[in-house]
Structure 1
Amino acid sequence: MDQLTINNVWMMLCTALVFFMHLGFALLEIGLTRQKNTLNILFKNIFIITSGLLLYYLIGFNLMYPGFDENATGLLGFSGFGLDAPLNSDGLLNLDYNVGYTYWTDFLFQGMFAATAATIVSGAVAERMKLGSFIIFAILYVGLIYPIAGSWKWGGGFLQNLETPFYDFAGSTLVHSVGGWAALVAVWLLKPRIGKFKNGKLQAIPGHNIPLATAGVLILWLGWFGFNGGSVLSADPGATSITLVTTCLAAASGGLLAFIVSTIRYKNYDLTMFLNGILGGLVGITAGADQMSPTDAIVIGAIAGVLIVFAISFIDKLKLDDPVGAIAVHLICGIWGTLAVGIFGNLASWNQFYSQLIGVFCYAALCIPASFLIIYFLKISIGIRVSEKEEMEGLDSHEHGMDAYPDFRLNEH
């Protein structure tokens, strides 16, 4: 087999693993929320991946990779609507579009990333956001905001062209923080679920199926082999191997430190904190997975695990209701992982740290106003929150007319 074929097969395998992550997100979200909202969460996750791929085909891919050079044509420097594979002089498909993989593989791999930003928001707004409003938000955020954000770095934009280029290997900022900023804004505008805070005091609202949540995290960990491993953009054995090693070690240390710190602080063995610590470690290593030593990865993951425990507590003190811990995992650990590139590994330097800081602020400056404008407009027009009756009785029965477990009803909160 020639190298192009080997690279392309590896990239397609990684694409399949990233696709599999959407099952992980779905299981994690339904596991950490109540039974009466299960169908609603599953519906959102299915909508995100189906609409996300079509939107990325129609405008996202071209908007994210416009060229940014004097030869670029069309509105905003991209070719227009839909994909158009590059052709050689004979009018045949040019399989040498990239030294590592084909044009179509590139589209599909990047398309799997695109929907993740909206999936992050889905978990944060679970159990009280109107489905119609979420659908409109997801279309606008995945279709426009995410590709524009991605173009700044991965599309050859201004962050890539800094004197010391901003670095984000697989998306601690470009994917996770982009979703995390929107989740923060959405949670603030939505307000907490009924019963989450009574007389100003935090009240736990346990998820209905922790085994499903655990399965979801393990599936996400597996999917990260494709998320980070595929971001090598080839089957290079050295680069791929070290990337997978750093990814796994960061996940392990993140989980263990979250477990240890939460046990010391709260005097109990909290599995959900353990699970979010694993995810925090994965998000934290994603920005620099190819640039870190195994020891660096363990330290980065460990700090992410500690951050998870204190970030979740801080978010609760702000009376922001995030049922699945998405803000702590994807935003806080995404920022940490991005800054860690300038502190650890092959790129560590003051100049790199400064560029990483610029990147963090630039994405905040885009995502906070953009998500606020979208969600606030929805709030004052069609509304973003379901009625008190719908929230108390569950979104499944009111928005979908059925139960996820029609013959197995549990006590509801």
Structure 2
Amino acid sequence: MKNICVFGLGYIGLPTAAMFAHHGANVVGVDVNQHAVDTINQGKIHIVEPGLEAIVKQAVDKGNLKASLTPEHSDAYLIAVPTPFKGDDHTPDLSYIQAVSEALAPLLEKGDVVILESTSPVGATEKMVAWLSEARPDLTFPKYHEPDNEADIFVAYCPERVLPGKVVEELISNDRIIGGMTKESTKKAQEVYRIFVEGELLATNSRTAEMAKLTENASRDVSIAFANELSVISDKLDINVWELIELANHHPRVNILQPGAGVGGHCIAVDPWFIVNQNPEEAKIIRAAREINDNKPNWVIGKINAEVDKVKEQGVEKPTVALLGLAFKPNIDDLRESPAVHIAREMLDIDSAKILLVEPNISELPKSLTAGDLVELGSALEHADIMIILVAHDEFKQLEFSNKNVISFVTNR
């Protein structure tokens, strides 16, 4: 398995490609983004991830990693492209996976391995196989209900489970679920990941692997929803939620998470809906947790507007509000599904205050926020009447706020 092709060079695909290359494989990374391709081929990266750029540069310099707009024949193909929603009903959009399937199908040869990493609803791997099989009737592909049968192509589903900000470390150390369409597909996929993974390679089938990834993130979503609901209840009862949780967690069998401004990112804010979409009658707790977490930003907006009204009552015609943090979690540049972005966009639309946006990990605002002003923290401290901490970036910890109305929706101490 010395030649590997990785489709999708984003927050998961690029680190994965770099790790294979760092451990001696010849890797072609494929992406539709010309800027990303050019940046990587210069030995640089287009995302923020600690420790990654040095690995990419070394791999590119050695000739083990190159980026391209078009795929090349390889021994193994890994797919790490987005799986967004089609619309407001949270129906999964598998069109990116289908497009990749159509692009790689002409390259397939007997004995090749195809691995889907994209977070997907149960059955997505089987749909991918159907697309590949339709494009290549000359090859045989594995069938989910025939785990012992042989096929020309080996196919598996192997979800990532890494934490942004620690991807380089966790790609190597974390255990990995290897869900083959057949038993032999599982073994072949294990061989691929053993190139650099030091954690355990847990064997299962493709459907169980798909559901395992969704289950992991739905479980976390439910736990976060409990904390977020507690924060709303505590506010109503005039209770300090941070103190409440700290005290409750002294119980030997209680470990309540910390509340925040909502839930974001490409996993927890998305994956549980895949379960709900396929199982609308059964997934009651999972749906409730998603609704609680999705509604938390609106509650935050209400609290901010209440603070704006208080300042207006003090004679300030249009207060200046600084929103600190736009990423979906601390110390990264990833704004996908970020509740802070939703809050900023709504505050800009309401236009009840002048909005200053502070996000130390980006250099320009996304299109949805171009009506706002991206400023340095020092400028926000100088000009804002109200400071709103939405993300616990290191830069915001232990700040000294003098004569400021400060609201923190995260633990920042």
TM-score, reference length from structure 2: 0.26
Structure in which a larger fraction of residues adopt strand: 2
TM-score, reference length from structure 1: 0.26
Taking CA–CA contacts closer than 8 Å with sequence separation of 6 or more, which of the two structures ends up with the larger relative contact order?
1
Structure in which a larger fraction of residues adopt helix: 1
